[in-house]
Amino acid sequence: MASMKFTLSFIILLCLALGLCPLASADVYRYKDKDGVWHFTNVQKDTRYTLFIRSKDKKPSQYIEEYEGIITQATRRFNVDPLLIKAVIKAESDFDQRAISPKGAQGLMQLMPPTADAMEVSNPFNPEENIFGGTRYLSLLLKRFRQDKTLAIAAYNAGPEVVETYGGVPPFPETESFVAKVLDFHKQYASSAK
């Protein structure tokens, strides 16, 4: 039996080396069980599995579809426009759940660790936790700024206290650029939804 496994593996490797078998391109998910054993799959079976290798063939629009159900649930729970959440995710991480910013923001909605803790997100790289946490946070900012999207988006980037201190979008190039990008993506998503 062991020689059969070896032979099959050798044949597959030989075919790949000679270009006779095309390599499939797909996301690969993994999780480590309680015994320290890694499990891999190309289908995210449950929330224990996190993205390990992202397919280069997928376009951001395919990730929008992949996360559509989570976005719908989160936006219904927290009463936020789903197109706004998609726009924030696009601007923050381009739908890369493993994204980490130079400042330490993590996951799809680029949650800083203190924000993730406050929103009860234990694994910021888990799409469901990250989207629910980021949506909850944005809903609180929308309430704080009386449903003013521009101010809420600026606060998502720079912090609500900074927006209040400046009485509007703070004059930081990064924040101004972020607000413009999110509003532009929101407009694009809204026009394509019609």
The pLDDT tens digits of the residues spanning 139-154 come to: 999 999 999 999 999 9
pTM for this predicted structure: 0.70
Q: Give the contacts of 32 (CB within 8 A, at least 6 positions apart).
A: 38, 39
152 with 182, same domain: the answer is yes
Q: Is 122 helix (H, G, I), strand (E, B) or coil?
A: coil
33 with 114, same domain: the answer is no
CATH number at residue 162: 1.10.530.10
What is the extent of the structural domain holding 138? 60-193
Closest CA to 138 of 59, 74, 191: 74
126 with 33, same domain: the answer is no
- When divided into structural domains, the chain yields a total of 2
User: Of the residues 65, 66, 68, 92, which is catalytic?
Assistant: 92
Give pLDDT < 50 ranges for the chain.
1-25
Catalytic status, residue 92: yes
**38 within domain boundaries:** yes
**98 within domain boundaries:** yes
65 with 49, same domain: the answer is no
Burial letters 107-138, b for 16+ CB under 10 A, else e:
bbbbbbeebbeebebebbbbbbbbbbbbbbbb
